Structure 1
C-alpha cells in the first residue's frame, strides 16, 4: 500500500527539515528534490571535529568522600560547587558530529516553469525519486544509498539531451553564507575529489569523490572546478572514506566510486533493492481502513492528523530510518562501527545541537528500543561495537578507576566518536552520572532474549561483567529514615531533572539512590546472573551480586502525592513538575520491574507520576512524548496511547516525518515505533513455570483500525504474524521460532550450517494470550512453525 510505504510531496524542499533522507548506515544524504539547483546534503558517520583527548578529572577520587558527605547533609550548593571544581572533564566538552559536504546539480529548471512535479521516498525500495516535466521534457531522477557498493548513486534520465553542472562544496547549512570548510577541490576528467579536515588536533580526515558516466552519446567535461554533463542518461556516484577507519582513505573512496561506475546503474539498483528488502521485509505493519486524507502529500497528511495508514507509514519509516543509519560494516572495519546518533546520520550543521553526539541518559537507548521486536537485530551490531570500545582499558576502565577507585568500566551521560567516557560539560543535572554505560549494557541480555544467539551473548559478556563490577563498587551503604541500611548510589541524580529539598526548599541536583539509578543497577545484576546461567559460567561475582541485590531498597511511594518517588531516600518535590524526563519510570519501560498485574500498587503510583507530569506540560518534546507512549502501552491504556500519538504528530513532527525536539532528533521516531509494537504484542511476562507469554493486542486503540502485523519478534526467540479486526484477532496466528531460523548476524543465518552455535534443542513452551482472554499453548524445538486458531 502506497499510503504506508511512501512519503511524497508536490513541491521541492525549501529547507533541510523538508528534505528526505537516504543512508546505508555509514553514508547519509538529505535530498531536496529541487529543479533549478538540486541540493544533496551529505554525511559520513565518522566525520567529527577533533581527535581523541584525555579529559579524565584528576582530582575527583580524593574529593569523592567529601562529596558524598555533602550530599548526605543536604548541602546542595556546596555539593554542586565541589562537582564543578573537581569532577568535570577538562576540557568539559566532547567532540561533535559534522557534515561531510554538499553536492549541487544545476539543471536551471525554474520551478514556475515545471509541471507535474512529484518527489517521493519509497520505503520498500529505499529509493528517492524526483519527477517533473520542463519544456515538455520529462525529467526522472532516482537516488539511493547502496550498502553493497558503499556509495550514494544518482540516475538522471531525460527524453532529450540535457545539460547540467555538478559542483561539490562544504558550506554552512545557512545557504546564503559563502564560507567553504574544506582543504582542496580537484576535478579530473569525470571526477571531483574533495578533501576535508573537520578541524582540531588529530582530527579525522575525509575524502569525498564524485564520478559521472553517461550514455554513449553523452559527454562529461571538467570545467572551472565543476563537471558539465550533456546527456539523456547519466549515472552520478558519490563515495567517501575517512582516516578513522582507513589509512589510505583517499584511495578507498576513489576505489568505491570506480567500482560502482563500472558495475553500472542496473546492477547497482538491482543489488540495492534486493539487499534492502532482505531486511526491510522481515517485519511489516499494514493498517486500515484508508481515508481520503491518505492520498494527500505527506506534509498535508500530518496536518490533517492521525489515520491508521499514517501510523503504519510512521512505523515503517522508523524501520527504514534505523536500517539507513545503523548497519554493520564488513571486515576489519566492524570494530569501529558507529550506532545511530542523536540525528541518526543526518546533520546539516557545523554546530549541531548537543553536538549530535551519543547521549546515554535515554536518547541512544531509545534509538534501539524497537530494533529487536521489529526484526532489525542486524542494526544492533554497531551499538555493540561502540559498547566494546567504551569498555576498553584506555576508556571506561580508566575513568572508573581514576574517578571512583572502582573496578570494571563506566561511561557518563555522553560519548563521541572516540568512545570518550569522562563527564561531559558542566551541567549539574546531567554531567556527573556514571551509569550511561550500565544502562546501555542492558541490550546485551535483551538481544539474547529476542534472538537466542549464544555467540553474541558470549562475545558481549565481558562488557556486561565489567559494568556489573563498576556498579558493585559504586554502591555505598546509607541509612534510611526508618533506620534501615541499604546500598544506594551517592552522589546520585535523576537525569537532567532538579528538585526542591523537602526541608529547606533549596534547589538541588544530587541525592542518594535515585529510582532511576537503582532500576538500572538491579536490572543489570539480574541480566548478569541470567547470562552466567545461560552460558554455563561460574560467576565469580555471584556472592557480591547476590548480597548487593538483597541490600537494594525497594521503590517507594510519596505519601503526600501518591506518586512514585524519584529522589531516593529523600521525599523531594519537583523543581519543574512538567519535566521532559521521567527517569523514575524506567522500571515500567524499557525495563519490566513494575507491571500492572505483578505490582499494581507501584503501577498506580507510576500513573500518578505521569498525571502530574502531563498536567504541568510534560511530553513537550518528540522523544519525551515517545517515552510516554511506551509507558502507556505497558500500562495498557489505549486511550492515553492514542492521545499521545496525536500530540506527537501535532506538535513534535516535521513535514518529512522526522521527530522534533526541537530541533530534529531521531530518537522520537524510534521510540514511537517501539511503543506501537508494544501495543501489538507484549512478551516480557513469564508464567509460574517459566513459559513465555505472548500477549496479543494488549493496548490497541480502537481508532487505530484493523490490520496485519507480519514477523514481529518476541522474547523467547519467537516471531509472530496475525491479523485483527475490531480489536479481535481473526484467522490463524503464526508462531515461528527464530532459533535456527532466518535472523542473521554478520556471519550469516543461525541455522548451524556455518558453524554458528545454537542453544540446546530442548522443547520450548509458551502461551498466546488473546485479547478476548483466550489462552492457547504452543511448543517447539529448533526451527518451528505452528498455527493457532
Structure 2
C-alpha cells in the first residue's frame, strides 16, 4: 500500500500549464520552479475588469407572451430572433477576471550548471519546494500562501551567500511580451508597492506589496525597480488588497506584509500548516497495491495511466485545490467572499476563456459537488456569500421583476464579481435560461443534509424561498398531447444544446419544459418544504408549491431510442448527438430523482442516453467526462467509471494534473473527485421507514485497488471509515455521528459552532455492504459504531 501526497518534477515548468498552484482562497500563485529567473504568476480573487453595470433588458417582460407563443408554435427562428432583440442584455457581456501581478526572482543559476534539481508540491502541507545545487551551493526555495497571515511567502535558503533580485510587475501571460498593465511601482530598500487598475468604468483598484527580510548578515537595497538581496537566507512576503473590500487597500496590503515579516518564517510556517491541516486531514484516502509507475514524476504518471495511487493523488489534489481557491475569510468581509471560479483562482490571462467567471449551468455547481462528502463544508461558505448577493432586490430580484414580472429572484447562465444576474452573451443555447440561481440554491438543503447545521439553513432560507417564488411564477400551464394539463417552463432550453424539430427538422433551441428545468424546479420545491419542516416554519407558499408539484409532468422516455427525453413536450432529436452537456440526466446526478432501485426504468433510459452520447464522441471535455464519471458511479457501473477516469487522464489532464476543457478549467478536477467519493460511499437513499442508507463501495472499480478511507461525510450527519480488500470490507465499518462536531476550523469557538447544530436526537440508519449484507445502526449525538 502506498501513500504519496506530492506532485513532483525533475525540471522547471516551461509554461503556465506545467506550473504548480498554491492559494489561500483569496490569493493564488502559480510557481514555475525556475533557477535562472523564477516566475510567480499571482491572482487575487477580486481583481476584475470594470465595475457594476446596468444590463437588465428593458423590453423583455412585454415581449414574454409573444415569445411563449412562438415557442409553442415551433417557430424557432422567430423565437430566437425575438430573444436576441428583446431579451439580450446590453452590453451583452459581464465583467471578467484578470491576473494580479507577476513576481520575477532573478537567481541567475544557469540550467547548464544546475544539478540535483527537483520541485514538488506537498498536498499534506500546501507548500511548494524547489531544490537544486549550483556551483557548490545548495539552494532551497519554499513557497506557501497563508490563510492566517493573508500573504504569499517565499523563503530562500542557500548553503552559501549569494545575490538575487526581485521585481514586481504586471505583464501578459505571453512571456515574450513587454507591456506592463499597471499604474505605478514604488521601490525602497526593503519594499516594492505596485498599484494597478484593471480598467473599465468603476473598476476595482488593486495594490500589491512586496517586502523582504534577510538574515543578520544579509543586505537588501533598491536598484531601479528591483530589490537586490545578498544573503544565505531571506524571506520574501507578498500581499494584495483591492477596493472591492477595503477603502484604504494600500494600507491593508502594506500592513499585511509588515505583520508577516515581524512574525517571521518559523511562526508563519507553523501557523499555516496547522490551520491548513485542520481542514485537509478531515478526510484521508489510501489506495494500493503500489505500481512501478508510482515512482515516476507526476507528468510521467499521467502518461502511463491509472494506478490506485494516482486515483488517490487526483482526489487529494482536488481537495487541496478547493481549500486553496474557496476558503472562508477570517475577518469582517465574509459577505464579500468569492467562491472558486471557472479556473479556481488561477487565471493567467487578461483575456481569459469564458471570462474566468462563475458559470451557473453546471460549472460552478460542479466545483462544489465533492465539497460536503469530502469533509470540506467550510469551503462552501464563499458560495453562500455569493448566493446572498445574487438574491438581493437590486440584483436577482430586479432581474426577476423587470424581465419576467416575477416574484423572488433569478440569475441566468453566468455571474461576475458584481453578482450580475442578467443574461450573459448573445448565444441562444445558453443565454436566456433564468434557472442558474435556482440550481445553485440546491446547496442550501444539501449542506443541511450533511452537516445538520440549523443556523446555516436558517440564514440561507430567504435565498431558497426567493428562488421558489421565482420558479412558481416562471411556470406556465400547457396541454400535453395526451390531453392532460401540466405546468412547465416556456421558454425552456437544455443548457448549450440544440435540437432538430421532430416535425420540420428545423434546428431549434427553445422548447417547453426541458428535463433539466423540471428536475431543478421539482428538487427546489422539495427542498423548500423540507427546510420549512426542519425550521418549524409555516410556509406561506405551501399551497402554491403543493399545487405546482402535482402539476409538473413526469419524466418521459423516447419511444424511438429508449433514452430519457431531453426536450420536454416534444420528442426532438439532437442536433449534436455527442454534445458535452448531459443536462437531462441531472436527476441521476447531482440530484437524486432517478436511482437504480426506486426508478429502474428511468435509470435504464438514462443509461441509454449516456450510450448515445458516448457513441457520438461525448465526454470530450474534462468537466463533461467528470459528469459522466459521477453518473456512472450513481448507476453502480464500476467498469464504466474506470473507463471514464482513464479517458479523463488520457485526453483531459495537463502535466500539472489540472483538468482541461481545453483550456484549463478546474471543474473537471472537482467533478472527478466527487465521483471517486461517490464510488466509496453513497448516502442519498432512505429506507421505507425513513432510515438513512449508507451504501459501501457501491461502484468501486477493482482496478483501483484495495484501500482505507477515513472521514467521508454522509447525509444525515454521519462520517464513515473502513478498509477493504478485493472489493470486500476488511474488518468493520466505523459510523460516527458528527452533529455538533467542530468541523469548521475557522470558527472562533467550538461551542459557538456546536450550538448551531440540530440538537441530538435518536437517529437510525443501515449500512449496505458490497456483498448485499445489511446492518442497522443508531446514534444519539457524538457516537461511534463498529459494524461488521
Q: Please, what TM-score do these two structures have when normalized by structure 2?
A: 0.99
Q: Give 5+ residue unaligned stretches, structure 2.
A: none
What is the aligned partner in structure 1 of residue 782 from structure 2?
783
What is the aligned partner in structure 1 of residue 578 from structure 2?
578
Task: Write out aligned runs for 1:301-320 (5 A).
Answer: 301-320=301-320
Structure 2 residue 92 is the aligned partner of structure 1 residue 56: no
What is the aligned partner in structure 2 of residue 96 from structure 1?
96
CA contact (8 A) 1:3 1:295 kept: no
RMSD of the TM alignment (CA)? 0.9
SS in 2 for 1:406: coil
SS in 2 for 1:331: coil
CA contact (8 A) 1:23 1:145 kept: yes
CA contact (8 A) 2:2 2:290 kept: no
Q: CA deviation at 1:669?
A: 0.1
C-alpha separation between the residues in 2 aligned to 1:748 and 1:566?
A: 47
What is the aligned partner in structure 1 of residue 767 from structure 2?
768
Q: CA deviation at 1:330?
A: 2.1
Structure 2 residue 495 is the aligned partner of structure 1 residue 495: yes
CA contact (8 A) 1:286 1:708 kept: yes
C-alpha separation between the residues in 2 aligned to 1:592 and 1:435?
A: 18
CA contact (8 A) 1:378 1:744 kept: yes
CA contact (8 A) 1:361 1:495 kept: yes
SS in 2 for 1:731: coil
CA contact (8 A) 1:181 1:196 kept: yes
C-alpha separation between the residues in 2 aligned to 1:674 and 1:582?
A: 17
Task: Write out aligned runs for 1:514-663 (5 A).
Answer: 514-663=514-663
SS in 2 for 1:332: coil
Distance verdict in 2 for CA 1:579–1:111, change over 3 Å: same
C-alpha separation between the residues in 2 aligned to 1:481 and 1:683?
A: 38
Task: Write out aligned runs for 1:605-754 (5 A).
Answer: 605-744=605-744, 746-748=746-748, 752=751
Task: Write out aligned runs for 1:120-269 (5 A).
Answer: 120-269=120-269
C-alpha separation between the residues in 2 aligned to 1:600 and 1:315?
A: 30
What is the aligned partner in structure 1 of residue 464 from structure 2?
464
C-alpha separation between the residues in 2 aligned to 1:544 and 1:119?
A: 60
What is the aligned partner in structure 1 of residue 21 from structure 2?
21
CA contact (8 A) 1:695 1:768 kept: yes
What is the aligned partner in structure 2 of residue 324 from structure 1?
324
Distance verdict in 2 for CA 1:755–1:598, change over 3 Å: closer
What is the aligned partner in structure 2 of residue 343 from structure 1?
343
> What is the CA deviation profile of residues 179-232 of structure 1, one whole-angstrom value per residue up to 9, with x for unaligned ones?
000000010120000001000000000000000000000000011110000000
C-alpha separation between the residues in 1 aligned to 2:103 and 2:746?
A: 32
CA contact (8 A) 1:3 1:310 kept: no
SS in 2 for 1:488: strand
C-alpha separation between the residues in 2 aligned to 1:574 and 1:214?
A: 64
CA contact (8 A) 1:3 1:294 kept: no
Task: Write out aligned runs for 1:407-426 (5 A).
Answer: 407-426=407-426
Q: CA deviation at 1:119?
A: 0.1
Q: CA deviation at 1:748?
A: 4.9
C-alpha separation between the residues in 2 aligned to 1:292 and 1:140?
A: 28
Q: Give 5+ residue unaligned stretches, structure 1.
A: none
CA contact (8 A) 1:49 1:198 kept: yes
SS in 1 for 2:105: strand
Q: CA deviation at 1:3?
A: 5.1
SS in 2 for 1:41: strand
Q: CA deviation at 1:746?
A: 4.9
SS in 1 for 2:428: coil
Q: CA deviation at 1:755?
A: 7.2
SS in 2 for 1:329: coil
SS in 1 for 2:730: strand
Distance verdict in 2 for CA 1:68–1:42, change over 3 Å: same
C-alpha separation between the residues in 1 aligned to 2:135 and 2:686?
A: 66
What is the aligned partner in structure 2 of residue 388 from structure 1?
388
Q: CA deviation at 1:773?
A: 1.1
CA contact (8 A) 1:709 1:722 kept: yes
Q: CA deviation at 1:761?
A: 2.6
C-alpha separation between the residues in 2 aligned to 1:754 and 1:427?
A: 45
C-alpha separation between the residues in 2 aligned to 1:4 and 1:473?
A: 52
Q: CA deviation at 1:778?
A: 0.8
C-alpha separation between the residues in 1 aligned to 2:450 and 2:754?
A: 20
